[in-house]
């Protein structure tokens, strides 16, 4: 699980830099200022949670038998990034408002990831 989470964290982190640069350089003249802000929020939250996933991977690597809640937090971060950031990217690029209705679901999944991480951290024996 450590390799999967480290690899996915690195990919998501790198992609957040790439989409942020894409927004700044390619989208600035193509979409509204508000849509650009929405897109950048997606990129920022993607980076935050890529770093959180990296932390989860490091914690898993430090334990002989990773706690199920620690592993769950990693998957919740991955799913939450896909839903939260993905819906913001789609909303800003297409203008389809229904993508904005999906974003809170992604936020809820990210919050659940933090909750699972907190529970796992409380019970860690390092």
* Residue among 31, 54, 50, 45 nearest 104 (CA): 45
Check if the beta carbon of residue 66 is closer than 8 Å to that of residue 60. yes
pTM greater than 0.85: yes
Provide the CB-side half-sphere exposure for 27 (13 A, CA): 21
Structure tokens belonging to residue 29: 């003249």
CB 63 within 8 A of CB 26: no
Length of the chain, in residues:
126
Task: For 59-118, write each residue's pLDDT tens digit.
Answer: 999 887 778 999 999 999 999 999 999 999 999 999 899 999 999 999 999 999 999 999
pLDDT digits (tens, 9 = 90+) for 24-51: 888 888 889 999 999 999 999 999 999 9
Helices 98-123, 68-94: inter-axial angle, 10-degree rounding: 160
Q: Average pLDDT over the chain, rounded to whole?
A: 94
Strand intervals (E) in the chain: none
Q: What is the pLDDT of residue 63?
A: 82
């Amino acid at each position: 699980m450590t390799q999967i989470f480290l690899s996915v964290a690195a990919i998501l982190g790198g992609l957040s830099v790439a989409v942020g640069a894409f927004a700044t350089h390619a989208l600035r003249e193509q979409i509204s200022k508000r849509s650009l802000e929405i897109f950048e929020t997606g990129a920022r939250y993607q980076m935050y949670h890529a770093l959180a996933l990296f932390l989860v991977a490091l914690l898993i690597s430090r334990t002989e038998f990773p706690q199920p809640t620690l592993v769950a937090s990693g998957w919740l971060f991955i799913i939450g990034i896909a839903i939260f950031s993905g819906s913001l990217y789609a909303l800003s690029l297409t203008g389809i408002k229904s993508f904005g209705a999906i974003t809170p679901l992604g936020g809820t999944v990210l919050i659940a990831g933090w909750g699972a991480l907190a529970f796992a951290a409380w019970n860690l024996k390092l």
